[in-house]
Amino acid sequence: MADVLAAPQQLKTDSALRTLTGISIGHWVSHFHIFVLPMLFPFLKEQLGVGYIELGFALTAFALVSGLTQAPIGYLADHIGARKILLIGLCVGGLALIGLGAHLSYPALIISAIALGLANSVYHPANYAILSAHMEARMGRAFAIHTFAGFLGGAVAPAIMAALMAWIGGLGALMVAGAVGPLVALLLVVMGIPDAGAAKDRPEGTEKVQASVITPAIMVLTVFFTLLSLSTAGINNFGLVALMAGYGVSFSSANIALTAFLGASAVGVLAGGYLADRTRRHGQVAAGCFAVNTAIVLLIALVNLPSAVLTAAMGLAGFLGGVITPSRDMLVLNAAPPGAAGRAFGIVSTGFNFGGIASPLLFGWIMDHHLPHWVFGASAAFMVATVLLALVTDRKPQVSEVRAAA
């Protein structure tokens, strides 16, 4: 009798594990693809004969398209199903890079960036909709593993792209990186990841709740996500060239420092997942970690640190930045109306894109004016603003608390 009762629970556990694994692999691809173009900036600059501000414009086009389409994609994920949206995004992102590798030109770079932006808009709405629907317990840790996979994709991108560049050149590197997208889409089909958000599965009356998803809490979180993007985008996208130009470090040393930043971010996410499941003060977690981060990044901006110390400082900054991400996601989940996780995450994730629209031009301008230390100085300034707004989010009642009170 016990075995009969345990079987459905085991099946549910296996399904949840398969879902988390598949969605996390998809998130790995999304972050890996985000970093492909920045890691090839030196190659693209030489081949296309353009400056960093022109390369930064490609990232702005990426962020603009992703920002404009994020909320509509969230709507589609909640209405026609998140799984098909995710699979389409993986294929579109992969084909964008394959196309650029097959025909390299500046117009092709912009077209590829636009297609990558459209593909990128699917991951947060679709992934979080599926996780919210199928992960019943330890949501903070589920979000942490999902985010860890994404950060890991970004962390290994510098090493993978450097290896591909050395092995098959820049054009081949673009095409191999792109092929990952359709291959993973096929893998997710074979794994049988579940759907979420399709209209036929929506509880009666949910449509009315979804109509009011744009709330003051969601708007504040959108600004919060914008500041998060601005505080890290300069280091992510221009940290490599800034360290080489202003700190007298080699390509390999700069690559190691950036890899430490991105890799430690991924490890920090896992620690943050346990923390997120043990506290409701998610805004205070974010504020505390980013306050320390501000001091570290400001130190990097002001002092030419030895390579080993620089790598350690970058790693610590990355770790603390990773710790806050599950708490960040829990703030959104708590603020989302029932049945509207896809739309809520779609809306707040546009904050990343708002920051992504401005940051490539800002940091590209900084680099073109030979001010590499200001890549880190400007990042520290945005971190201060992030700390202040994170404290504000803890003053606002969350939807889950309101429900409990009712």
pLDDT, position 279? 67
The vertex-348 CA angle with 380 and 145, nearest 5°, equals: 80
pLDDT score of 137: 60
∠ CA 342-346-351, rounded to 5°: 155
pLDDT on residue 211:
47
For 123-181, the pLDDT digits (tens) are: 888 888 888 777 666 667 788 888 888 878 887 888 899 899 999 999 999 999 999 99
CATH number of 248's domain: 1.20.1250.20
The answer, yes or no, to whether residue 395 has pLDDT greater than 60, is no
Which tens digits make up the pLDDT trace of 268-327? 888 887 777 776 776 777 788 888 988 999 998 888 888 889 999 999 999 998 888 887
d(CA 384, CA 309): 23
The reported pTM is: 0.71
DSSP letters for 169-182: HHHHHHHHHHHHHH
Q: For 19-76, write each residue's pLDDT tens digit.
A: 889 999 999 999 999 989 988 988 998 899 888 888 888 988 898 898 788 878 888 8
- Per-residue model confidence (pLDDT) at position 214: 76
CA distance 197 to 128: 11
Residue 56: which region, alpha, beta or left (left: phi > 0; alpha: psi -120 to 50)? alpha
What's residue 151's pLDDT?
77
pLDDT category of residue 188 using cuts at 50, 70 and 90: very high
Structural domain contains residue 1: no
In angstroms, rounded to a whole number, what is the distance separating the alpha carbons of residues 34 and 123?
12
Q: CA 288 → CA 107, 113, 137, 281, distances in Å?
A: 43, 35, 26, 11
What is the band of 209 on the pLDDT scale with cuts at 50, 70, 90?
very low
Q: Quote the pLDDT of residue 13.
A: 63
Number of neighbours of residue 295 by Cβ within 10 angstroms: 11
Structural domain total, the chain: 1
- What's the pLDDT score for residue 73? 85
CA distance 365 to 306: 26
The neighbour count for residue 360, using CB atoms within 10 Å, is 27
pLDDT digits (tens, 9 = 90+) for 360-391: 788 888 888 888 889 999 999 998 888 888 77
Average of per-residue pLDDT across 241-268: 84
Residue 2: inside a domain, yes or no? no
Structure tokens that stand for 84 in this block: 């098909």
Nearest to residue 282, comparing CAs of 369, 381, 396?
Answer: 396
Report whether 222 contacts 347 (CB < 8 A).
yes
Say which residue, 9 or 296, is predicted with more confidence.
296
**92 within a domain of the structure (yes/no):** yes
Residue recorded with tokens 């620690």 = 271
Task: Count the alpha carbons within 13 Å of 391 in the hemisphere toward its beta carbon.
Answer: 9
pLDDT tens-digit profile of 213-246? 777 878 888 888 888 888 888 888 788 888 888 8
The answer to the question of residue 8 being in a domain is no
Q: What is the pLDDT of residue 402?
A: 39
Residues ≥6 apart with Cβ < 8 Å to 208: none
**d(Cα 114, Cα 222) in Å, to the nearest integer?**
22
DSSP code of 212? Answer: T
Which domain range does residue 36 map to?
A: 17-396
Residue 333 has pLDDT above 80, yes or no: no
Q: Is residue 402 part of a domain?
A: no
Residues 157 and 40: their CA atoms lie apart, in Å, by 10
**Tokens 């693209």 — which residue?**
44
pLDDT at 285: 76
Distance between CA atoms of residues 131 and 146, nearest Å: 9
Kindly state whether residue 7 falls inside one of the protein's structural domains: no
pLDDT band at 343 (very low <50, low <70, confident <90, very high): confident
Residue whose C-alpha is closest to residue 222's, from 142, 328, 379? 328
In-domain check, residue 160: yes
In this structure, the number of other CB atoms found within 10 A of the CB of residue 105 comes to 11
402 vs 39: CA distance, rounded Å: 45
Please report the pLDDT score of residue 4 as a whole number.
40
Residue 41 confidence (pLDDT) = 87
Residue 198 within any structural domain of the chain: yes
